[in-house]
Amino acid sequence: MKIRMYNVGYGDCFCLRDRKGSLLVDFGTTNSRIEGHPRKETFDVIISDLTTIDKKNLLLTHFHLDHLSGLLYMMKHRNSSYEFGKIYLPDVFSEETMSRTLTLLLLADLEKDSCLPSRQVSLFALVEALCKKPQKVELLSRGKIFEDKYQALWPDKNVIRYETEQVYKILEQEQAKGLEMLLAFAEKLRKILFSMTVDNEKEEVWDPRHLEREFRELRATEEFKELLLFLEEKKLFLRRFKNKISVVFQNKNDGELNLLFTGDVEKEHLHRIVENYDHRIPLFEHYWCIKVPHHGTQDHYFDFGKFTPENMLISNGIHYANSKKQSKELRTSSQYGGLFYINDAHMYCSNYDCCDGYENGCTCKECDVISPAYYKDI
């Protein structure tokens, strides 16, 4: 087993490789330049590296651009997008009631403080790209075995459904008309993705031009504008709602090379997973590698010491936010740095320039920093 950790700035991209095949976990960044190079150049290097692998699948943990912008670029500009045998996505598509969750995910990109470059709607951009170049899709939720060697620990469809309803009811009471219009569009997106799943025998063709026009017309309506204004006035910031559906997974069976990949899971959900809240899937006592959630930021800091990891992976590139406060919040937590808190554990980071409090270089005892290289193998 080998993990190739790519340096994509403030983003995620890992490739899990063994003799049977490879799994790319996320492929994206929010940075326009990485180590002084245009983002396009970094994407091209990764895509070129992937062409050397015969059998490979892709897992998108969730729908933030720092986890999928590379795939969008790949599907738009490169024929090699067809080389993935399968794309794994969090299961927010298999049931009609999930359209409410998708509605909130769309709103998360469209609200005023979404901080997205070019106001791009990442979920819609993904569906649009898949309409142009359909792929085989498999949906993951808690307990699902995939690749015959990994098991999904999150998302839990029941928990997501409950948390969706808590927010949805607030919007529905005041903005029923605009919400109803967006819900109908979200249901269309759900059907498109679900039609591509490996268990679905229907072969439907969708015109992305019609889809884009419908979405543009929807966003121009007064009802929709009022809905966005209501979100702003009530401060119902939904950007982190995307983290609630983030895929978390580990090995199917306990062994020497246990992995724990956490995507951008919310801290409250990670606590549930660790506590084995439903008594279905206990975590292992020891991990070879743990991928730290959400680029190691303080709000998502989690102490993994009890699992005695041999290696910790932090994709912690610099994020250029709209304010100094936001920039500070998106730096790597000092609790992951300095005198490293887990004995005999090794730290792999993308960049030390974004570590909180370590402006003059990395001071971790056991560390490897990828920058300025494109990747490092673990």
* Strands in the chain per DSSP E: 2-6, 13-17, 22-27, 33-34, 37-38, 56-59, 87-90, 137-140, 145-146, 150-154, 248-251, 259-261, 289-291, 311-314, 346-349, 367-369, 375-377
List, for the chain, all residue ranges whose pLDDT scores fall below the cut of 50. Answer: 113-118, 339
Sheet holding 22-27, edge to edge: 137-140, 87-90, 56-59, 22-27, 13-17, 2-6, 375-377
Distance in angstroms (rounded) separating the CA atoms of residues 94 and 96: 7
The model's pLDDT over 354-371, given as tens digits with 9 standing for 90+, comes to 887 566 667 677 788 999
DSSP label at residue 355: B
Spatial separation of the C-alpha atoms in residues 246 and 36, rounded to whole Å: 30
- What one-character DSSP code corresponds to residue 227? H
pTM, rounded to two decimals: 0.94
pLDDT, one tens digit per residue, over 56-73 is 999 999 999 999 999 999
The answer for residues whose C-beta is within 8 angstroms of residue 159's C-beta and 6 or more apart is 269, 272
The pLDDT, as a whole number, for residue 338 is 55
Q: What pLDDT score does 117 carry? A: 41
